[in-house]
Amino acid sequence: MNTTIPAAGSPAAPGGPRAAGTVLKAAVYIDGFNLYHAIADLGAPHLKWVNLRALSERIIRRGENLTRVAWCSAVNTKNAQKMLRWRAYRKAQESVGVIVMQGHFTEEPRRCDQGHNYFHPTEKEGDVNFAISLISDAHLGLYDVAYMVTADSDQVATAKLFRTRFPNKAIVSVAPPGRRHSKEIIASCHDTRSIRREVIENCLFPGPTIIRDGRLVAARPAQYEPPPGWRPPQI
């Protein structure tokens, strides 16, 4: 059953009344690491193998047409195992039409409490890719409603610019599981959504492999295998 995620009210159609039968175009923009860490905190590694397109279909309002899903993330090439898992996940997302906005990692100098210097891997470009993609797609007319999946207040400026530049479109804040909305972001949004754990559980890629046109596209990393006997809950 295509169950939408409960929201705090439903905003009016962007731009005011529309002709009967008009279908709004929806686009979902996902802060990859914000969502990843929220899922990791649930303590269930198999939930990391989530189909972001299926999840986005649950996020948007019933009757809207999902036209774009953009996943903004980065790959850490210094950690071979993480890199391989990330690449498998990227291939899985691309197989269902998710647009991947890829950033990178840099190693920045840090000093620990004991006074030792070390290099810490830091993700770059993610926030910029998120903002550029959302605003550029609005200019191109790719959607009527934008859904921002992030609890990161770094996107406050994005939401503010959106409200100023696109009065005929709507923007919705979407909180990852277990996270609160950024108060600063929702001040510029028309509505909110909150992703529940059970929705994530119902949006995983089925099976250990993804096959398209008879060929292997992606294999689920062993770390993301569901527990024996696991079944998604009924919602």
pLDDT in tens, the chain (235 residues): 333 343 333 444 454 445 556 899 999 999 998 999 999 999 999 999 999 999 999 999 999 999 999 999 877 777 889 889 989 999 999 999 999 986 655 655 666 776 666 545 555 565 888 999 999 999 999 999 999 999 989 899 999 999 999 999 999 999 999 999 999 999 999 999 999 999 999 999 999 999 998 999 999 999 999 999 999 998 8
Q: What is the reported pTM?
A: 0.85
In a domain, residue 235? The reply is no
Strand stretches in 16-125, DSSP E: 25-31, 65-75, 99-111, 117-124
- Number of structural domains, the chain? 1
In a domain, residue 18? The reply is no
In a domain, residue 153? The reply is yes
In a domain, residue 184? The reply is yes
Domain CATH code at residue 99:
3.40.50.1010
Return the bridge partners of 66, or none. Answer: 26
Question: How would you classify the pairing of strands 191-194 and 65-75?
Answer: unpaired
In a domain, residue 12? The reply is no
In a domain, residue 3? The reply is no
Domain span at residue 165 reads 25-223
Please list, in sequence order, all residues whose beta carbon lies within 8 angstroms of the beta carbon of residue 148, skipping any fewer than 6 positions away.
29, 31, 130, 134, 155, 158, 159, 171, 172, 173, 174, 185, 189
